[in-house]
Amino acid sequence: MSDNISVPVLFVPDLVVLPGMVVPVPLDDAGQAAVDAARAGEDGKILIAPRLDDRYPTHGVIASIVQVGRMQGRDGYVAVVRGEQRAHIGTGTSGPGAALWVEVDLVDEKEPTDTTRELATEYRKVVLAMLQRREAWQVIDAVNRLTDPAALADTSGYSSWISDEQKRQLLETPDVDERLRLLIEWTGEHLAETEVSDKIASDVRDGMEKTQKEFLLRQQLNAIRKELGEDEPDGADDYRGRVESADLPDNVREAALREVGKLERASDQSPETGWIRTWLDTVLDLPWSVTTDDSTDLAGAREILDADHHGLDDVKDRIVEYLAVRARRAERGLSVVGGRGSGAVMVLAGPPGVGKTSLGESVARALGRKFVRVALGGVRDEAEIRGHRRTYVGALPGRIVRAIGEAGSMNPVVLLDEIDKVGSDYRGDPSAALLEVLDPAQNHTFRDHYLDLDLDLSDVVFLATANVVENIPSALLDRMELVTIDGYTEDDKVAIARDYLVPRQLERAALTSEEVAITEDALREIAANYTREPGVRQFERMLAKVARKVAVKVSDSNEPVSVGAASLVDYIGRPRFTPETAERTEVPGVATGLAVTGMGGDVLFIEALGVSGSGGASDGPSGPQLKLTGQLGDVMKESAQIALSYVQAHVAEFGIDPAALNGTVHIHFPAGAVPKDGPSAGVTMVTALVSMLTGRRVRSEVGMTGEVTLNGRVLPIGGVKQKLLAAQRNGLTTVFIPQRNEPDLDDVPAEVLEALEVKPMTDVADIVAQALEPAQATTAVA
């Protein structure tokens, strides 16, 4: 170091000026003051010091001001300065003007040695190689004209591949040999990186078309990883390692390794590569060896089921039995025989709103298993169940395989929701694909079209739900254990509302039990006269409506509210349902039957009317004409023919005037917009016909169901429990059922049997005799 001078200083952010550089410097107020002070001085010198971070600079460059003015594209003034000599910054000092002055020690460059010249020669080669790659021929000429090693080193200030921090390090390095060594290292590294990048770009360009932009990007990425010595994350070697380390069954591992071999031999451009990788990802994501342990606490499982659902004892008993058998086999060390697990396949059939779907999740909690729901309503493509062939674009495994993957175990509880609403079209029949899934004797080797591997479903608990069992194909229904949920009694609905629905609706309405009380009389009134459903969905909607109106009332008055049966009109209006059996059976020819629909049991009024003379007197009593209305199916139409023929053959026994059959007999089933079919209205039609022909009314409290033969025998029918529940809901007290349906009464709740007088019958004549009012009573009323 030599001369010590005092100069104004200009701090420049994000810029490092080295000796020999000519650069424009934007000027702020402080910068303008420094420039003005320098221009006012004798030598016109200024110190340019970098401010790259919070650290106070130790070195700067003494520069002369070439020009001050405005530059195009820049706001404010700009000073063009030429760096001349390094300077070490000392202490601040005073000086004229508003500028900051500092004392600096000028740094002289030492005389070059042989080592310095050798380093300069090596650096020149590296720099020229870099410039040639950039085709900067004018800069190459300027570099070749430089002979001073220090000046050559300081040209690095213009280099774009050297960072500002590195440039500041060069500014603060007074030894030219050290500066040249640093530059040789930095420039050499960047040249090597550039050569690799250029080689990668050249390799990629040589192997593809210019229009394939996405392909170009992928190839560049692969080439970069190759040059860096990194394997592609989803390469064949990576898949081989994943397959070998995965806990897979032997047959699955063998198939996966075969596919890995194909992947290794396939070209990256082949579309088969993507298919194989997707298939391998699917296989590796499946929980082939993951199972959950079933709960062995039978009492705890029953408590969970009882806490979530009221009633439904058949399903609860079946789940507890399943757990008991599993626990006993485990205690005695009994293994699964023949590769078949101990899963279960059940279908929960019943009307909407009785808790079939929500029961599946409760069963999973009781078993301690994972739960997954598969919605089948409206599914028409067989591939949705069994998967697509891998040759199709966008092929996926079927819903069963996806459900297993989603559950994360091989023994979940899978709920097949709305299995009775599966359709079929030109794409196949999904219900046929379910035959193997739901067959306990076959599903241990279920084969999905996409996987093309045996998948063991024998330990899965399948729960299917359905509203109408008749819509399930018989072959599929035969593979499942049928558990019928026929709806709730009035007492059940009140208990469910009290224990489940009311607390839930109060919580949703942000109400507490202190703010509102809904009496049991109100709940019973809603169940009896506001809803006539087998489930509780409409019941809950009524309670939600009550809760909303109570929330408004409580917000206005800030007083607790009690909702009783008498005040329900203020909240949900007048009752929707009133007893109508007595009104409908006031005239002869109307009988009350019982039917089952997709919504549960219901009463069915059958009306018979004789139209005199329309059949012609010559027809005689043996030739009545029959007219049927009410959108009836073929089975019900035939049942009406049988009923008329039976009555016609027994006019004497019933006390019917044969002349009454000389016309047209019209039988009508009200609610004509609702399709009706089935044989179980036979006894009701016989009763309605005899009532019409004899003028004796049918007792208003009587309901009946049963198929009738030409001999008058009463044959069994289905849905006895649902029909008796409907009879109780509609205020009937006496119900006639076929004698052969008497065992079905074991499934009917005790409170229903207590409220009804159920009479099993074998002869329709006995039903008619007991169902019709005595002739004298009818005459007296008339």
Residue 454 lies in a domain: yes
pLDDT at 320: 83
Structural tokens at position 746 = 């074991």
629 is in an annotated binding site: no
DSSP assignment letter at 585: T
Residue 291 lies in a domain: no
pLDDT at 579: 67
614 shares its domain with 762 = yes
pLDDT digits (tens, 9 = 90+) for 489-527: 778 888 888 888 889 888 888 888 888 888 888 888 888
713 shares its domain with 594 = yes
- Write the CB contacts of 60 (distance below 8 Å, at least 6 apart in sequence): 9, 47, 48, 49, 50, 86, 87, 89, 104, 171
pLDDT at 781: 38
355 is in an annotated binding site: yes
pLDDT band at 777 (very low <50, low <70, confident <90, very high): very low
pLDDT band at 778 (very low <50, low <70, confident <90, very high): very low
312 shares its domain with 345 = yes
pLDDT at 618: 38
352 is in an annotated binding site: yes
Q: Residue written as tokens 């009937």?
A: 732
pLDDT at 780: 38
pLDDT at 278: 84
pLDDT at 248: 84
pLDDT at 98: 79
Residue 217 lies in a domain: no
pLDDT at 686: 93
pLDDT digits (tens, 9 = 90+) for 175-202: 888 988 888 888 888 888 888 887 887 7
Q: Please name every residue paired with 102 in a beta bridge, in sequence order, or none if there are none.
A: 7, 92
pLDDT at 207: 60
pLDDT digits (tens, 9 = 90+) for 579-596: 667 677 778 888 989 888
Task: From 462, 461, 525, 495, select the one nearest 311 (Cα to Cα).
Answer: 495
Q: Which residues are catalytic?
A: 680, 723
195 shares its domain with 239 = no
Domain that holds residue 496: 490-572
Q: Are 122 and 93 in contact (CB under 8 A)?
A: no
pLDDT at 621: 45
pLDDT at 238: 77
Residue 750 lies in a domain: yes
412 shares its domain with 495 = no
Q: Residue 229 above 80 pLDDT?
A: no
703 is in an annotated binding site: no
**CATH code for position 164:** 1.20.58.1480
377 shares its domain with 524 = no
Residue 384 lies in a domain: yes
Q: Are 442 and 345 in contact (CB under 8 A)?
A: no
Gap between the Cα atoms of 10 and 101, Å rounded: 9
pLDDT digits (tens, 9 = 90+) for 39-57: 887 788 888 988 877 778 8
pLDDT digits (tens, 9 = 90+) for 647-702: 988 888 888 888 878 888 899 988 766 787 888 889 999 999 999 888 888 998 89
pLDDT at 340: 55
Please state the rounded mean pLDDT for residues 441-462: 84
Please state, as a whole number, how many other Cβ atoms lie within 10 Å of the Cβ of residue 739. Answer: 15
Q: Residue written as tokens 């059949």?
A: 615
Residue 66 lies in a domain: yes
pLDDT digits (tens, 9 = 90+) for 353-367: 888 888 888 888 888
Q: Residue 733 above 50 pLDDT?
A: yes
241 shares its domain with 347 = no
Helix (H, G, I), strand (E, B) or coil at 49: strand
Q: Are 627 and 666 in contact (CB under 8 A)?
A: yes
Gap between the Cα atoms of 536 and 355, Å rounded: 9
pLDDT digits (tens, 9 = 90+) for 279-313: 888 888 888 888 888 777 888 888 888 888 887 77
Helix (H, G, I), strand (E, B) or coil at 244: helix
For residue 625, count CB atoms less than 10 angstroms from its CB and return exposed for 0-12, middle for 13-18, buried for 19 or more. middle
Q: Residue 703 above 50 pLDDT?
A: yes
397 is in an annotated binding site: no
Residue 473 lies in a domain: yes
Percent of the chain beyond pLDDT 90? 7
Q: Tell me how long the chain is.
A: 782
**CATH code for position 543:** 1.10.8.60
φ, ψ (nearest 5 deg) of residue 388: -95, 155
Q: Residue 730 above 90 pLDDT?
A: no
Mean pLDDT of all residues belonging to the chain: 82
528 shares its domain with 475 = no
Percent of the chain beyond pLDDT 70? 90
Whole-model pTM? 0.59
Q: Residue 763 above 60 pLDDT?
A: yes
pLDDT at 399: 87
Q: How many domains does the chain have?
A: 6
pLDDT digits (tens, 9 = 90+) for 120-161: 888 888 888 888 877 777 778 888 888 888 888 888 888 888
Task: From 592, 766, 772, select the one nearest 699 (Cα to Cα).
Answer: 772
pLDDT band at 735 (very low <50, low <70, confident <90, very high): very high
pLDDT digits (tens, 9 = 90+) for 596-622: 876 677 888 899 888 765 443 334 445
446 shares its domain with 587 = no
- Write the CB contacts of 74 (distance below 8 Å, at least 6 apart in sequence): 24, 26
546 shares its domain with 411 = no
61 shares its domain with 79 = yes
350 is in an annotated binding site: yes
461 shares its domain with 494 = no
**CATH code for position 453:** 3.40.50.300
Q: Residue 227 above 50 pLDDT?
A: yes
pLDDT at 761: 92
pLDDT digits (tens, 9 = 90+) for 322-380: 888 877 877 777 654 444 556 678 888 888 888 888 888 888 888 888 899 988 887 87
What's the CA dihedral at 458, 462, 466, 472 to 10 degrees?
A: -10
pLDDT at 211: 54
Residue 519 lies in a domain: yes
**CATH code for position 655:** 3.30.230.10
